[in-house]
Structures are given as C-alpha cells and as structure tokens.
Structure 1
Amino acid sequence: MIVLAVDSSSKVATVALMKNKKLLGEITLADKKEHSVILMTIIENLLDNNNLTIDDIDGYVVSKGPGSFTGLRIGMATVKGLSFGSNKPYVSVSSLDALALSVSNFDGIICPIMDALRDSVYTSLYRGNSTCTNSSSESTNTDGNYDLPVKLEQLLDYSALDLSELIELIKAKNEKVIFIGDGVDKYKDYLIENCPNCYFPPNHLNVVRASSLGEIGSILLENGDFDDSNSAPFYLKKPQAVREYEQRMK
C-alpha cells in the first residue's frame, strides 16, 4: 500500500510517501509562503522524485488538528480533493498523536505542545511503550475516533490549556516528562523553571512530521477506518476573530 501523508497544521508544510509503512521520501519546509501556494508543488516534487504519479497512491492521510485554522483547512481541502478525484480513501489523524509518536520510546510522560498563543498550548498526554513492536495491535484513543498504535497510550484528551494549568496536571503525575512541539521553542525556559524533571528532544523533532502522521494513518487505512466527506478539522479553540467579535457583543 502506497500512502501520501500531508500536514499543514503549523507554519511547517510537510508531505511524506509511505509504502507498506516504510518511508519512501519526505519533504518538510518551514517556508514563509502560504501553504496554499506550496503544498501541491511539494506533493508533485515528491511523487516525481519517486517515479510515481497520483494514480499510484492507494490512500491519503491528513492532519485534522489541532493547529492553525487556515493551515488545517488547506490541508484537509487538498487531501479531500485528491481523494475524491482519484476515488481513493483518506483518513485524518491528530497532529498531537504524530508528535507523540516521534518520541514513543521515552520512558515517562510524553507531552506534545503546539503554540495556541496567549500563553496557552494545544496538548495531550501520552505514555510510550518502547517494548512494543507489533504495530497491528492498538490502544484506546480517548477522542474515540480511532485507535492509536500500541506504541502510545493516551492519558489526556486533546485540550487547549493555559501553560500553568498543564504544568499542574503534569506535576500531579510525579513522573519525568518530555515536551515536544513548536511550543517548546517559545516556552522552554518557563518549562525548565517550573517543571524540573523535564526533557526535550532534538530540535528537528519539534515539528510535526508527515512520516509520523503516515505511520498512524497507514494502520487506519489497512483497517478500513476511512473518513467520509463530512470529516472536518478540529480546532479546540474558536478563531481569534470570532472570540474578539463575541467579546464586543457582550
């Protein structure tokens, strides 16, 4: 099975090609151009470099969020268009799950954090299991939409939390924790000061990787857990323009 995975949930645009869960190629760009300008170009370049066409793709994976409102809509619309145009299935996967999978061998709490502005983050909590090798096994995802690979056990539902609130939740678990995601760049000093038993991955892992998204999505596609035309990104927070409008109306 050849799978094309796309993530545009943050400032980074990333696309990966997977064949039978093995990576064929991946392009990740932290570009100032809008995702709508570069995403299809990345996809075309990746296919060309692997001597493939869109007709060779058996299924698609896309990030459903949380993350940038505009970025998520662009990614979802792109994959839906490719999926419906080729009559091939697609699945949507949380960007937080993909981040957590990148450090699933960590022996402690895994905490992906994506910057949600105003000292808040999009987050969840996971426990990794470095002894698990059978990717066909599964564990419960509290969101209820799909099951995660057995490498991850989700401990907290997807949330938008003030950073101070997240720190209190983690302290209550009294375990070491690894933070991963673009929120690390912004809040690392605060995390070190307020969460002494914390760890951080290499910087290149702090962006969502389409290959991680594709690894999870490949399992869903194999199991027939397809999305339908009604699937939409989940945002966790209302867009800022909506919040400001509601504040003015009070």
Structure 2
Amino acid sequence: MKILAFDTSNKPLAVAVVSDGNVLATLESTEKKTHSVTLLPDIQKVLTESNLVINDIDLIAVAKGPGSYTGVRIAVTVAKTLAFTLKKNLVGVSSLEVLAADGDESKILVPLMDARNDNAFAGVYQMHSGELVNLIEDHHTSMAKLLDLLKKYDSEKLEFINATDNLTDLIKKEYPEAVILNAKDSLPKAGKLAKIAERKPVISDVDSFVPTYLRLTQAEHDWYEKGHKKDGNISYVEEV
C-alpha cells in the first residue's frame, strides 16, 4: 500500500511517501513560510522523488490536530480535497500521537503543543508491542493541571516532547528528573504518521471530516455568543 502522509499542525512541515512500510521519500521543513504556500509543492516533490504520481497513492494520512488552527485547517483541507477528487481512502491521526511516535519507547510519553498563557494541548502515551497506547486522551489544559495529573507516574519515566522554553521551565520545577525534548528537537515525522495511519480506521464520510481543535476558536466563541446553539448536531465548522 502506498501512503501519502503530511502534517502542518505546527511550525514544522512534514511530508512523506511510504510504500508497504518503506519510506520512499520524506521532507521536513522549518522554513518560515506559510504552509498554504509550501504544502502542495512539497507533496509534488516527494512524489517525484518516489517516482510516483498522485494517482498511484492508495491512502492519504493527515495530522488532524490539535495545533495551529490555520495549520491544521490547511492540511485537512488538502487531504479532503485529494481524497474526494481522486477517490482515495483518508485517515486522520492525532498530531500529538505523531509527536509521541518519535519518543523513547521505554518512557511515558507526554507530547505537548504550547497553547499560550501556561496552557498546552497534551496527551499521554506509552508504547506497547510496537503500538502507541493512549493513557490519557488528548486535551487542552493548564500546565498546572497537567503536571498534577502526571504525579501518578514515576518522574524519571516521563518524557515530554515538543516543549517550548516556557513549558520547559514549568516542567523542570515539578519534574527535574524527567526527559524534556525541546520544540526545535521535536520535528514531526511524516513517515511515522503513515505507519500509525495503517492501523487507524478509514474515514467513511470524507465530507464530514473536520480538524480536532480541542478548544473553541475565537470565531466559534463569538458565533455561540450570538445565540447559535451548541447542540451536538451541527458545529460551527460544519455550518460555516
């Protein structure tokens, strides 16, 4: 099976083509360019390096969030468009799980995305039999609550992934023995995203697939403030 995988949920951009478990081509970029400008050319680049065209792809795997609202929307929009127009299978994978996949398999893995004001998007994962198991589901939280929640684990077994300088300082105060991977050393790996996607269910309705934000955007907050109902039947993203 040939998989095109990409992640634009954070500042780095990652794209890869994987065939039957083998990475044919991969690209990781931290250039200060907008993902909306670079994603499609980078997809074409990895396809060319793989000696493939887009129609050769069997499955599209995308990091669905959480993360940068704009970044997540770019990746999901491109993934949905390709899947719909080319009639390809589509799988969405947690952006935090993609980060956790690059951690130490012997550790309790805590992937993070800085959500500002001492808050973060975070999950807790552990590797079992070569597969990541979600111990604490992805959520938006204050760092104080997260660090308190992690007291059930031995601090020396914890590995925090993708911590900004501010989050690193907060972690070190509570868990000086924990391993902390700074954001600059935590590039998402699209090849690992593809590997995870092989074990995930295919999205049955591509049209209804939306990013995972884990908190309201300002636009959603304003939308609900105007009296729109949040009844679980229709979301801001679907209506807009």
Return the TM-score normalized by structure 2.
Answer: 0.85
> Residue 114 of structure 1 aligns with which residue?
113
Which amino acid in the other structure matches residue 2 of structure 1?
A: K
Which amino acid in the other structure matches residue 50 of structure 1?
A: S
- Contact kept? 1:178, 1:201, Cα under 8 Å: yes
Which amino acid in the other structure matches residue 234 of structure 1?
A: T
DSSP 3-state at the match of 1:166: helix
> Residue 231 of structure 1 aligns with which residue?
209
- Aligned identity (percent) is 32
Find the partner of 1:207 among 187, 204, 221. 187
DSSP 3-state at the match of 1:187: helix
How far 1:227 sits from its partner (Å)? 4.3
- Are 1:156 and 2:136 matched, yes or no? yes
How far 1:172 sits from its partner (Å)? 3.0
> Residue 147 of structure 1 aligns with which residue?
none
- Contact kept? 1:17, 1:25, Cα under 8 Å: yes
- Are 1:102 and 2:102 matched, yes or no? yes
Does 183-192 or 200-209 show the bigger shift? 200-209
> Residue 191 of structure 1 aligns with which residue?
171
How far 1:204 sits from its partner (Å)? 5.9
List gaps (5 residues or longer) in structure 1: 134-150
DSSP 3-state at the match of 1:44: helix
> Residue 173 of structure 1 aligns with which residue?
153
Distance 1:117 1:201 in 2: 18
Distance 1:18 1:75 in 2: 18
| Number of corresponding residues | 225
- Contact kept? 1:92, 1:217, Cα under 8 Å: yes
- Contact kept? 1:171, 1:195, Cα under 8 Å: no
Q: 1:118 to 1:232 in 2, by over 3 A?
A: same
How far 1:114 sits from its partner (Å)? 0.6
Which amino acid in the other structure matches residue 209 of structure 2?
A: S
- Contact kept? 2:3, 2:58, Cα under 8 Å: yes
DSSP 3-state at the match of 2:147: helix
DSSP 3-state at the match of 2:203: coil
Distance 1:88 1:244 in 2: 36
How far 1:96 sits from its partner (Å)? 0.8
How far 1:80 sits from its partner (Å)? 1.1
Q: 1:84 to 1:108 in 2, by over 3 A?
A: same
Distance 2:182 2:176 in 1: 18
How far 1:34 sits from its partner (Å)? 1.4
CA RMSD, 1 decimal: 2.3
How far 1:212 sits from its partner (Å)? 1.6
Does 38-47 or 185-194 show the bigger shift? 185-194
DSSP 3-state at the match of 1:18: strand
Distance 1:174 1:199 in 2: 12
How far 1:247 sits from its partner (Å)? 8.4
Distance 1:247 1:164 in 2: 28
Return the TM-score normalized by structure 1.
Answer: 0.82
Distance 2:55 2:220 in 1: 40
How far 1:126 sits from its partner (Å)? 1.3
Q: 1:20 to 1:204 in 2, by over 3 A?
A: farther
- Contact kept? 1:99, 1:212, Cα under 8 Å: no
